[in-house]
Amino acid sequence: MSVPLDDRRQRSARLTRERVLRSAVAVADAAGVRSLTIRSLAQELGVKPMTVYHYVANKDEILDGIVDVVHGEIDLPIPGNDWRSEMRRRAHSARRVLRRHPWAIGLMESRTSPGPATLRHHDVTIGTLRRAGFSVELTAHIYALLDSYVYGFALQEASLPFDGQETVAEVAEPMMQRFPTGEYPHLTEMATEFVLQPGYDFGDEFEFGLDLILDALAGSVPAGGTSPE
């Protein structure tokens, strides 16, 4: 349905770059980043496609902008606080944000024109680790390790055929019924004695893995650095 001319003019007058980018995020959330075009964005905003070009030059600028929006939603660590608590808080926040915007997983590190929220996020995270006493080299290793874990887990979580405790059995039990009897004893054991037990949630694996990483890194805290929890 076409939008009346007066309505389009009113909506265009209220537009800002931030609103355009937030609407682009909404389009990507609803139908994936491949669905995001100047035309689909204009439709979301209720304006003509040419109006969008007053705020973003092209698709690449939109992608750079929405990655910056996503980075801006992740909690920033606080330099000077306990580094381990801050890295844990940041990791959990990043996971929550990527669950809201799973399309962003493949874009977060691929853009070559980072915006201010992205740059600030990187700078503050690096600063938190440096204030804890880690060297520049070790800070780079830690940052890469943590992001590899968070993004990898988020990608795996987004790809699973179930969501939360309630749907695990719905997916796993029919799969197990197709196993030849006795053919995969270890897989069957794990499924029946752990995965299919009441209360199992794949999301709990995130905390387990994050603790392993942080425990290992705690042994590398330089003398005089912030003590782990």
Q: What is the 3-state secondary structure (H, E, C) of the chain?
A: CCCCHHHHHHHHHCCCHHHHHHHHHHHHHHHCHHHCCHHHHHHHHCCCHHHHCCCCCCHHHHHHHHHHHHHHHCCCCCCCCCHHHHHHHHHHHHHHHHHHCHHHCCCCCCCCCCCHHHHHHHHHHHHHHHHCCCCHHHHHHHHHHHHHHHHHHHHHHHHCCCCCHHHHHHHHHHHHHCCCCCCCHHHHHHHHHHHCCCCCCCCHHHHHHHHHHHHHHHCCCCCCCCCCC
105 band by pLDDT with thresholds 50, 70 and 90: very high
What pLDDT is recorded for position 64?
97
28-32 mean pLDDT: 96
What pLDDT is recorded for position 14?
81
Residue 116 above 70 pLDDT? yes
Tell me the fold of 16-62.
Answer: Arc Repressor Mutant, subunit A (1.10.10)
Residue 45 above 60 pLDDT? yes
- Here the tokens at position 92 are 């959990």
Q: In the block, which residue shows the tokens 């009113």?
A: 10
Residue 168 above 70 pLDDT? yes
Residue 5 above 70 pLDDT? no
Q: Over pLDDT 70: what percentage of the chain? A: 90
188-201 mean pLDDT: 90
Whole-angstrom distance, CA of residue 11 vs CA of residue 157: 38
CA 73 to chain CA centroid, nearest Å: 10
Cβ atoms of 67 and 93 closer than 8 Å: no
Q: Where do the domains of the chain lie? A: 16-62, 163-215
Q: What is the pLDDT of the chain when averaged over all its residues?
A: 90
180, 199, 203 from 163: Cα distances, Å: 26, 13, 9
